[in-house]
Amino acid sequence: MPMSVGMAMEPPYRRNENTFSFCGYGADMAEDDLKLGLVLGYWFAGPPTGVPEMLAAAEELGFDSIWSAEAYGSDCFTPLAWYGAATTRAKLGTAVCQMSARTPVATAMSALTLDHLSGGRFQLGLGASGPQVVEGWYGQPYPKPLARTREYVEIVRRVLAREEPLDFQGEHYQLPNRGEGTMGLGKPLKSITHPLRADIPILLGAEGPKNVAMAAEIADGWLPIFLSPELDKHYRECLAEGFARPGARRTMDTFEIPNMVNIVVDDDVERAADMVRMFLGFYIGGMGAKEVNFHANLFARMGYGDEVEEIQDLFLAGRKDEAIKRVPLALVEDVAMVGPLDKVREELDQKWRKTCMTTLLVNGGPDQLRLVADLVNG
């Protein structure tokens, strides 16, 4: 059978500086080690099962971080607070918090609250999502996502820094809002609550070259999706462009890149690949419009333009099973590790460890998490 990977709490306000540095290296970890993270994602029809067991296994195995997400159902902060109450060591991150779901100030409030409750373990992953979700679900305009992201991050940082009352007059966000239709009574305010950490790490979800470069410029980390060892040189060049810009916060040595990789161990490579094809087919064909699908664009840049177009056409025509079957094995193997254990181990050591990825994010039950921990640490 294939193996797919993919309430005790320390008192709030207590933080072990040696354990919870941003780079996440505990006392037993060297700086060149590949870290592990557990992705619990967003919910589908209901909450996932087996989460307490997964959290316990992740803590026991020394996983560095635990991540939540959101799409257009469950939110990312509420489950993460629950995960934090069930753990004591692992960092807690959003991958990602959708910017259009909240004002920048509301996101900063959630961030500083969770950071306090977790004893300084929170890290904020932000993403712009796509126009179908932003305009269809949140009712917000989508144009200029890079400019909006830059303003959003600056406001969050100002709220957390709490150096002065917030007065920000940007193209996309105005605080106080003195525009048409207001009463003109708003005044600059400063958070009542003092942050536990004034510089909570911010990571950006990004796919396109400009977005990746901006992440390197203004953020503390980058959350890729469908990172491929074949594109590692390209992404390093994008990151280097961002690091070279005036005012860039970090360098490659201090920048975090947590990346989810689907891992399916099975002696039958095609059967293992089928478990990943479902995931990829949905993102290529169903996550975005035909005209604007950033995931599809990414795979087209990898050289799968014709296959992507066919998968999209089938998916949008309601022929989802056919679309999933058309995902090529080569595409699966570009972004995932599938097949016999020795093949997976070789790909991890010879390909994935050499990428810019700093944390390998996976999901699955306790047995799967132990398998991955053995692969990475063995």
Structure tokens at 333: 């193997």
Query: Residue 2: what pLDDT?
Result: 58
pTM value is: 0.91
Map out the domains of the chain as residue ranges: 3-265+341-377, 268-339
Dump the DSSP string for 257-294.
-EEE-EEEE-S-HHHHHHHHHHHHHHHHHHSS-SS--H
pLDDT digits (tens, 9 = 90+) for 290-347: 777 788 888 988 999 999 999 999 998 999 999 999 999 999 999 999 999 999 999 9
Number of continuous H segments (helices) and E segments (strands) in the chain: 14, 14
Beta carbons of 193 and 112 less than 8 angstroms apart: yes
Name the percent of the chain in helix, strand, coil, to the closest 5.
Answer: 45, 15, 40
Other beta carbons less than 10 A from residue 78's beta carbon: 12
Q: Does residue 224 register a pLDDT over 70?
A: yes
| Three-class SS state of 376 | helix
CB 227 within 8 A of CB 259: yes
Which DSSP state fits 107?
H
CA dihedral sign of residues 195, 198, 201, 206: positive
Contact 238, 211 (CB under 8 A): no
Please tell me the CATH superfamily of domain 3-265+341-377, with its number.
Answer: Luciferase-like domain (3.20.20.30)
Q: Among candidates 3, 197, 193, which has minimal Cα distance to 91?
A: 197
DSSP state of 253: G
Mean pLDDT of the chain: 91
pLDDT score at 4: 57
Dump pLDDT digits (tens) for 135-170.
999 999 999 999 999 999 999 999 999 999 999 999
